[in-house]
Amino acid sequence: MLTRIDHIGIACHDLDATVEFYRATYGFEVFHTEVNEEQGVREAMLRINGTSDGGASYLQLLEPVREDSTVAKWLAKNGEGVHHIAFGTADVDADSEEIRGKGVRVLYDEPRRGSMGSRITFLHPKDCHGVLTELVTSAPVESPEH
């Protein structure tokens, strides 16, 4: 089942300024950046620590690249801040089906590609006490990629 907090997703208007805040304030450095066209975001993953299961914990900073993206709509409604929490799992397919069987709405029929080659799905926030929840099976991470 779920093994760790994979990341906390934070929505922001200006990715570069937000990255600089986390770098200057806490010393966190960017581990990975990418544009996820499907989700309409530009993102930066700031690695916080490694874990015994080979994964890591991150802050994921998300800046929308299109006004029709989910993150852009969320920012317009809520402003900057915590967007979601993601839990790591060895098997996103099995765990999402198990959770679906418990009556929680899983937003994707099949997991999709996420950051750094991971496989992801989301759970409906109304079924998770108001928290948009992501399940993540990480791809093996060899080295930082910018």
Let me know if 7 is a catalytic residue.
yes
Strands 56-64, 81-89: pairing is: unpaired
> What span, in angstroms and rounded, lies between the C-alpha atoms of 130 and 18?
25
If one counts every other C-beta atom within 10 angstroms of the C-beta of residue 64, the result is 22
Is 84 marked active-site? yes
Which of 32, 43, 63, 83 is the catalytic position? 43
Between CA 15 and CA 83 the distance in angstroms is 14
Catalytic residue among 32, 63, 83, 134: 134
Active site residue 32: no
Active site residue 129: no
Catalytic residue, from 32, 39, 60, 63: name it: 60
43 labelled catalytic: yes
Among candidate residues 7, 39, 63, 83, the one labeled active-site is 7
Indicate the burial class of 68 (C-beta count within 10 angstroms; 0-12, 13-18, 19 or more). exposed
| Sole residue written with tokens 């930082």 | 144
Catalytic residue among 32, 63, 83, 84: 84
Residue 75: both structure tokens together: 């920012």
Active site residues: 7, 43, 60, 84, 134
